[in-house]
Amino acid sequence: MEKTKVGIVGLGGMAQLVHLPILSKFENVELKAVCEINRSRLKTVAEKFTSANQYVDYKEMLDKEELDAIIIATPTNTHLNLAIDCLQAKKDILIEKPIALNYTEAREIVSTAKKNKKQVMVGMNLRFRPDAMLLRSLISSGELGNLFYIKCGWLREQSSNQKWFLSKKLSGGGVLFDLGIVILDLALWMMGDEELESVAVQKFYQSNKDVEDSVVGIIRFKKGMVLNFEVSWDLYSEENSFNLTAHGTNGTAFLNPLRLFKKIGTSHIDYTPNKSTGAQNLFRKSYENELKHFIGSIREGVKVISSGEEALTRMYLLENIYKSAELQKEIRVKNI
């Protein structure tokens, strides 16, 4: 079969550390073009990946290149126009999270994808970690019984020091858009995307004035389950890693590292799978699996995991989280 022709727009850290080195090793992918408005950065990257044609204008790239898919790894405020132009040019796209600045923009992207019969995938790499996929499989097979409570969190330094990252107008939000949307996506995925009932959230501005640097909250579901979360760039943590604990009627599971305990009477027995993988390898494998899935879905014509439609529900949740924090009270979440 012919190789899938891929273009990348935005050559920052994600592209240089993740997308480019991984895609260049896929035998079924041809890295056809790269685009970056920073000419110095474009030149640096081009020296390492000489087979890709270089552009500073993505519209010129769309006009001149025959591409099957495009990866968008640019600041959040550029996602809407980029995504729409790519979709109207009949390209499948993978957008690094978040999909857009807000729910309204996300809805426009998803609507454009439907009209043009193309796929939108959003980069939620935690889903593609081998340990997370195994935990999801264990939950789906009923090993923990019925889930009723998930507690999760992520405390670490902010992912970028660039000016746009700390501007609400350009980034959409603070730690919720950086860490919150990813850990909440993972927790909701573990719960099977059950229907929401309400959210009660508090956010803090300890180090930044324009975007939040800490958020704590509780999410209730119509079937009675509860999700508790905390994300922060400011709260001190001895470990720079996320955590998730899932409690079910038949046991409890922990993620990062993965541990599983089955409930036997009044005791809990360790049923943790023997296989373990180092944290650094899990990080890389998550992106390898994510990109393999994206390329495979395009080649086979099947629906992607972490789709634009799913991203739309995440953006809607964030919208309600911000509303709860601003009103400083628990609010009900309406169906969409």
**Dihedral sign from CA coordinates of 157, 216, 77, 65:** positive
Mean pLDDT for the chain? Answer: 95
Burial class (CB within 10 angstroms; exposed 0-12, middle 13-18, buried 19+) of 238: exposed
CA-CA-CA-CA dihedral for 130, 290, 293, 140, to nearest 10: 40
More confident residue, 281 or 78: 78
> pLDDT tens digits for 59-96?
999 999 999 999 999 999 999 999 999 999 999 999 99
pLDDT range class, residue 32, cuts 50, 70, 90: very high
Tell me the HSE value of 299 on the side-chain side, using a 13 A CA sphere: 15
Q: What is the 3-state secondary structure (H, E, C) of 204-257?
A: ECCCCCCCCCEEEEEEEECCCCEEEEEEECCCCCCCCEEEEEEEECCEEEEECC
Distance CA 73, CA 11 (A): 7
Average of per-residue pLDDT across 311-317: 97
The model's pLDDT over 286-297, given as tens digits with 9 standing for 90+, comes to 999 999 999 999
What superfamily would CATH give domain 4-123? NAD(P)-binding Rossmann-like Domain (3.40.50.720)
Helix (H, G, I), strand (E, B) or coil at 36: coil
- Length of the chain equals 336
pLDDT digits (tens, 9 = 90+) for 136-179: 999 999 999 999 999 999 999 988 888 999 999 999 999 999 99
Q: Is the pLDDT of residue 36 over 80?
A: yes
Q: In 3D, which of 38, 69, 68, 72 has the Cα closest to residue 54?
A: 38
CA distance 52 to 46: 7
Stretch 197-208: mean pLDDT: 95
pLDDT-based confidence at residue 267 (cuts at 50, 70, 90) = confident
For 10-79, strand residue ranges (E) read 29-35, 53-55, 69-72
* Secondary structure class of 78 (helix, strand, coil): helix
Q: Is the pLDDT of residue 280 over 80?
A: no
Residue 308 has pLDDT above 70, yes or no: yes
- Homologous superfamily, domain 127-286+314-332: Dihydrodipicolinate Reductase; domain 2 (3.30.360.10)
Alpha carbon distance 95, 75 (integer Å): 11
Amino acid letter, 270: D
Q: Is a pLDDT exceeding 70 seen at residue 277?
A: no
Say which amino acid occupies 272: T
Q: Which tens digit of pLDDT belongs to each residue from 237-256?
A: 888 889 999 999 999 999 99
More confident residue, 241 or 131: 131
Q: Which of 19-28, 196-205, 246-255, 258-267 has the lowest mean pLDDT?
A: 258-267
Q: Buried (b) or exposed (e) across 138-154, using 16+ Cβ within 10 A?
A: bbeeebbeebbebbbbb
Hey, where are the domains in the chain?
4-123, 127-286+314-332
Q: What pLDDT is attached to residue 274?
A: 76
89-112 burial, b if ≥16 CB within 10 A, otherwise e?
bebbbbbbbbbbbbbebbbebbeb
Give me the pLDDT at residue 113, please.
Answer: 98
Contact 173, 201 (CB under 8 A): no
| Confidence label for 328 from pLDDT (cuts 50, 70 and 90) | very high
In this prediction, residues 182-198 reach a mean pLDDT of 96
- Residue 265's pLDDT band, with cuts at 50, 70 and 90, is confident
> Mean per-residue pLDDT for 97-119?
98
Say how far apart CA 200 and CA 322 lie, in whole Å: 10
The mean-pLDDT minimum among 28-32, 146-150, 205-209 falls in 205-209
Give the whole-angstrom CA distance, residue 222 versus residue 62. 45
